[in-house]
Amino acid sequence: MKKKKESKTFSSFFRAVARIFVVTLPTTLILLLLLIFGEISIETALFFFGLIFFITAVITTSVFKELENFISYLKTLAQQGLDIEPPRFHKGIFGSFRLADAFLSVKNIWSNQTLSDSSILENLPDPLLMINSDGEIVFANQISRTVFGENILHHKIFDLFLNEPFSRAAQTVLSETSDAEWFEWTYDDEEQSYTFQTRIERLPASARGGAIAVVTMHDITPFKRFKEQQSDFFANASHELKTPLSIISGFIETLQGPARNDEAARDKFLTMMAEQTDRMTRLVQDLLKLSHLQMTQKAERSDVVLMSDLLQSLVEDLKIKAAQTQKEISLKLVHDLPRLMGNRSELYRVFQNLIDNAIKYGRPETTITVKAQLCNGFPKKSDRWLSDIRQVIAISVNNAGDPIPPKYLARLFDRFYRVDSLKSRMVEGTGLGLGIAQQIVHEHDGIITVTSTVKDGTTFTVYLPVDF
């Protein structure tokens, strides 16, 4: 270690002497020419050379020292990033001739640009990760930490994402076999499943933290779900229309043939045909309604709605129907509810559907609880709680029916979707009510949620923002 230090000191001294000699070279050449032509003696030449060398050494030493510090600073900056403290540079004629000041000005511009770029990366709507040569995650933006967990940093990407296509693509890029890899993969957490269109690309140069590759993920879960819903919709719509049409067609053939003169059979078949026609009519009306809601930019919200009055009227209208199935409806108004702007008939339809479902699916001799209260903003798990902090009205409808398995909850609002149970198949309905309700709530800038447990039953909650 001591020899290495002595060698480094000697090397620095030799470089300093060489630099001073280079600076004095023009003067040395002039003295040499004067000596050759006999204008001065060798003693005079050596004296002036020594004097000039000494004066040059005194003047340039501080400059060369600052340049050494400057070069060392640039090397450290390239390795560690923009957070290191710059060395102090002298001002004035013996300083670095404002080179350092100019660079620091540029560095400030770089720093501001880097902060701006970091802010952009941090707030991207899609997950973005940066990994080093060992596959360790050295950067993760906000949405990445939200989806994959706050402790994602400094973990090996192969340990976090146990997915064969992901691991193979990451290994291919890190080993420089390929510059970029595209693939699609699915990530499952405790609450839901995500599908990502993912790209892993090697960076042209090592970035901050030693990152050599970037992982970008585009969430295509809504698109995949839409494709599935579209396929299910056409299959279910065809089935829902085909069944009554087949029944009506069979009755017509029977009435034209064997039952042509059978008055009792004719009355029975005509009644059943009317029921099937009513079923198709309701189905077509619901489809048209849902299509209209989806095509309309905003619901007509010109009514001043008093939610307490609307709920009280609705509960009175449905009490008799609930009593027919041995159930009661209890209305709890926790606060004095403020007015809101909306479409009264549409909102009436939303809560009518929710209470009607509670009547259908709740157990006999139980109470359906309708509760309305004020809340400070939307629930934290919604997609609006970060940007909306205004007051909202929360209206919940709870029934003590059989719990809905968690895997079905996310699909309850899909068109024609009905939980695969015997009770669901026995209950009359088009399967479009909850989809229509969700669309109406969204058009009123609100959200609708559902929870279901053995202990608490099933609860649908609608959150509507207060406009006054």
Q: Are 325 and 358 in contact (CB under 8 A)?
A: no
Provide the sign of the torsion angle of the four alpha carbons 384, 310, 372, 409, taken in this order: negative
Rounded Cα distance, 394 and 326, in Å: 27
Q: Parse the chain into domains and list their residue ranges.
A: 2-116, 123-219, 227-295, 303-465
φ, ψ for residue 216, nearest 5 deg: -115, 140
Residue labelled with tokens 């939980």: 419
Q: Which residues contact 455 (CB under 8 A, 6 or more apart)?
A: none
The pLDDT score that the predictor gives to residue 156 is 86
φ, ψ for residue 92, nearest 5 deg: 100, -170
φ, ψ for residue 96, nearest 5 deg: -90, 25
- Kindly tell me the burial class for residue 307, based on how many C-beta atoms sit within 10 Å of its own C-beta (0-12, 13-18, 19 or more): buried
Length of the chain: 468
Q: Which residues contact 176 (CB under 8 A, 6 or more apart)?
A: 202
Average pLDDT over the chain, rounded to whole? 76
Q: Which residues contact 434 (CB under 8 A, 6 or more apart)?
A: 353, 357, 412, 413
Q: Are 372 and 307 in contact (CB under 8 A)?
A: yes
**Residue 453 DSSP SS3:** strand
Q: Are 350 and 369 in contact (CB under 8 A)?
A: no
Residue segments in the chain with a per-residue pLDDT below the cut of 50: 92-97, 115, 385-388, 421-426
- Closest by CA to 148, choosing from 133, 159, 132, is 159
Q: Which long-range contacts (CB under 8 A, 24 or more apart) does 136-145 make?
A: 138/208, 138/209, 138/210, 138/211, 139/208, 139/209, 139/211, 144/217
The CATH number corresponding to 227-295 among 1.10.3720.10, 1.10.287.130, 2.170.130.10, 3.30.200.20 equals 1.10.287.130
The pLDDT score that the predictor gives to residue 426 is 47
- Closest by CA to 305, choosing from 449, 398, 440, is 440
CATH 3.40.50.920 for domain 303-465:
no
Q: Which helix (H) or strand (E) holds 293?
A: helix 263-295
The pLDDT score that the predictor gives to residue 438 is 87
Measured in whole angstroms, the distance separating CA 455 from the mean position of its chain's CA atoms is 33
Q: Are 294 and 439 in contact (CB under 8 A)?
A: yes
How many Cα atoms within 13 Å fall on the side-chain side of residue 294? 9
Decide the pairing of beta strands 128-131 and 137-140. antiparallel
Q: Check for a shared fold between 123-219 and 303-465.
A: no
Which DSSP category does 210 fall into? G
According to CATH, the topology of domain 123-219 is Beta-Lactamase (3.30.450)
Q: Are 370 and 333 in contact (CB under 8 A)?
A: no
Distances (CA, A) of 23 to 48, 59, 64, 92: 15, 11, 11, 20
Helix ranges, 81-213 (H): 99-122, 142-148, 157-160, 164-174
Provide the sign of the torsion angle of the four alpha carbons 163, 410, 465, 335, taken in this order: negative
Residue labelled with tokens 């009547």: 359
End-to-end CA distance of the chain: 77
Q: Are 448 and 433 in contact (CB under 8 A)?
A: no
